[in-house]
Amino acid sequence: MIFGATGDLANRKLYPSLYRLYKKGKLAENFAVIGIARRSLTNEDFQSNVRKSVQSAVECSNDLEQFSSHFYYHSHDVTDSSSYLALKNLANNLDSHYKLEGNRIFYLAMAPEFFGTIAVHLKEDGLTDVAGYKRLVIEKPFGHDLESAKELNKQIRQAFSEDEIYRIDHYLGKEMVQNIEVIRFANAIFEPLWNNRYISNIQVTSSEVLGVEERGRYYEKSGALRDMVQNHMLQMVALLAMEPPIKLTTDEIRSEKVKVFRAFRPIEGEEVKTHFVRGQYAQGTVNAESLPAYREETMVDPQSNTETFVAGKLLIDNFRWAGVPFYIRTGKRMKAKSTKIVIQFKDIPMNLYYGKDQTLNPNLLVIHIQPDEGITLHLNAKKAGQQLDATPVKLNYANKGIDGINTPEAYEKLLLDCISGDATNFTHWDEVALSWSFVDKISQVWENTKEDNFPNYPAGTMGPKAADELLEQDGYFWWPVTDLDIEKC
Ligand code: BG6
Chain segment 365-383, per-residue pLDDT in tens? 999 999 999 999 999 998 8
- How far is it, in rounded angstroms, from Cα 11 to Cα 46? 11
Chain segment 247-277, per-residue pLDDT in tens:
999 999 999 999 999 999 999 999 999 999 9
Ligand 1 center to residue 108 CA distance, Å? 17
pTM above 0.85, yes or no: yes
Give φ, ψ of 329 to 5 degrees: -155, 130
Residue 404 pLDDT greater than 50, yes or no: no
Between the alpha carbon of residue 229 and those of residues 136, 310, 314, 415, the distances in Å are 24, 8, 11, 23
In this structure, the residue with its CA closest to atom 13 of ligand 1 is 171
Q: pLDDT per residue over 66-122, tens digit each?
A: 999 999 999 999 999 999 999 999 999 999 999 999 999 999 998 888 999 999 999
Residue 478 pLDDT exceeds 70: yes
How confident is residue 354, by pLDDT bands cut at 50, 70 and 90? low
Ligand 1 in reach of 227 Cβ (< 6 A): yes
The strand pairing partners of 398, in sequence order, are 374
275 catalytic per annotation: no
Beta bridge partners of 291: 284
Cα–Cα dist 367/376, whole Å: 7
pLDDT at 487: 65
With beta carbons less than 8 A apart as the criterion, state whether 14 and 49 touch: no
Ligand 1 binding pocket mutation candidate from 170, 210, 218, 235 (most atoms within 8 A of CB)? 170
Residues above pLDDT 90, as percent of the chain: 87
In the beta sheet, which residues pair with residue 339?
Answer: 206, 370
Among residues 144, 232, 368, 378, the one annotated as catalytic is 232
Contact indicator for 399, 374 with CB cutoff of 8 Å: yes
pLDDT per residue as tens digits for the range 127-164: 999 999 999 999 999 999 999 999 999 999 999 999 99
The DSSP result for 103-169, as a single string, is -EEEEE-S-GGGHHHHHHHHHHTTTT--SS-EEEEEPSP--SSHHHHHHHHHHHHTTS-GGGEEE--
Atom of ligand 1 nearest to the CA of 212: 8
For position 356, what pLDDT does the model report?
Answer: 61
| Pairing mode of beta strands 165-167, 390-398 | unpaired
Cis peptide before 480 (omega within 30 of 0): no
pLDDT in tens, 417-445: 999 999 999 999 999 999 999 999 999 99
From residue 69, how far is each of 58, 72, 108, 154 by CA, in Å? 18, 8, 22, 37
Mean pLDDT of the chain: 94
CA-CA distances (angstroms) from residue 330 to 41, 65, 185, 207?
A: 39, 41, 27, 5
Which atom of ligand 1 lies closest to the CA of 140? 3
For range 322-337, the mean pLDDT: 97
Does residue 208's CB lie within 6 angstroms of at least one atom of ligand 1? yes
